[in-house]
Amino acid sequence: MSENQVERALSAPLPAGSVCLFAAYAPNGNLPPYTCFYLKNLKLCGLNVHVVLSGCSVITEKTRQFCYRHTFTVWHRPNGGLDFGAWRFLIDKGITRAAPYILFANDSVFGPLAPLPPLLRTLQADTQPAWGLVASRAVTPHLQSWFVGLSRTTFEQDAVQRVFSLPYESMTREEIIWHGELGLSVALRSAGLSLHALWTDENNAFARLFPTNPMHSHWRSFVRSGRVPFLKQELLRDNPFALPEIKNWRSLIPAKSGFDPDWIESYLAQHPPRSLQKSSTWKGRALYKMMNMLDNFR
């Protein structure tokens, strides 16, 4: 191990041997630059990164070389089961067996727009049994599954193992959300574990009455503060609650973040808004517009 590697290991917020299971949808077998940027930042947290590309049969040479240079292990699989199907694919490879911590992450966000290691230190990720960046009361209290960390002891809990053993490939998107994202947090709470997050609305009286998706209702303050330095692709691409402020997203990207806003422009040019299975109601749009207006003053 080189002197630089030793220094990184000593300063990393997670113990040696911790792994990141990263799910990416890549039907062309290629990782886009914004995902490569995210992966390099995850490595700075002391994680051994395993990337699984879903929906492709061949990984491009460019992506293979990128992963080789940065010592990421890259896999590919048929598309199915969304992120939970991809994570289970990696779990079945035995990658998590000796890992003290396991981070589950995916490519549904742009970022990070601020350094990740200090956030995980603030989160005390190396001492908490279960953690994430965002905890929401929407539907039921849960950690948003695009960034969730579990200790090995937590991961081995029977209730948690049941969640990851489900047949996600045969489920609809809605079923995966219910049984995977929401079900994981239900399993954690049933095991007596708290949902530890950098941002939570757990004790917010207003959120108890009017829960929202914080990545849509608090997106500006999240990025400005650096507390949750990510933007959801869905928010910028689909803008499901018709928020007029979304068009100004570019002004929020910190110049010193190293993140190129042109990566987002390129993504949006190639991915038009998706037709939503369930359109937002006027009440929902009014709630989110009000929350965005209040969030602008934070």
pTM: 0.94
**Cis peptide upstream of residue 100 (ω within 30 degrees of 0):** no
- pLDDT of 210 reads 86
- Residue 241, classified by CB atoms within 10 Å of its CB into exposed (0-12), middle (13-18) or buried (19+), is buried
- How many other CB atoms are there within 10 angstroms of residue 166's CB atom? 18
CA angle 29, 30, 36 (to 5 degrees): 140
How buried is residue 261: exposed, middle or buried, by Cβ count under 10 Å (0-12/13-18/19+)? middle
The pair phi, psi for residue 98, each rounded to 5°, is: -110, 10
Q: How far apart are CA 20 and CA 57, in angstroms?
A: 22
What gap in Å lies between CA 290 and CA 274, rounded to an integer?
Answer: 24
Domains and CATH numbers, the chain: 3-199 (3.90.550), 204-295 (no CATH)
Ranges of the chain with pLDDT below 50: 1-10
What is the pLDDT at residue 205? 75
Q: Which candidate, 152, 140, 232, 214, places its Cα nearest to that of 183?
A: 140
* Residues in a beta bridge with 130: 150
Per-residue pLDDT tens digits for 177-187: 999 999 999 99
Instruction: Name the average pLDDT for the chain.
Output: 93
pLDDT single digits (tens) 28-83: 999 999 999 999 999 999 999 999 999 999 999 999 999 999 999 999 999 999 99
Q: So what's the pLDDT on residue 202?
A: 81
Supply 9's token pair.
Answer: 């290991």
Of 80, 10, 13, 15, which Cα lies nearest the Cα of 52? Answer: 80
Whole-number Å distance between alpha carbons of 82 and 48: 22
Report which residue type is found at 244: P
d(CA 102, CA 188): 15
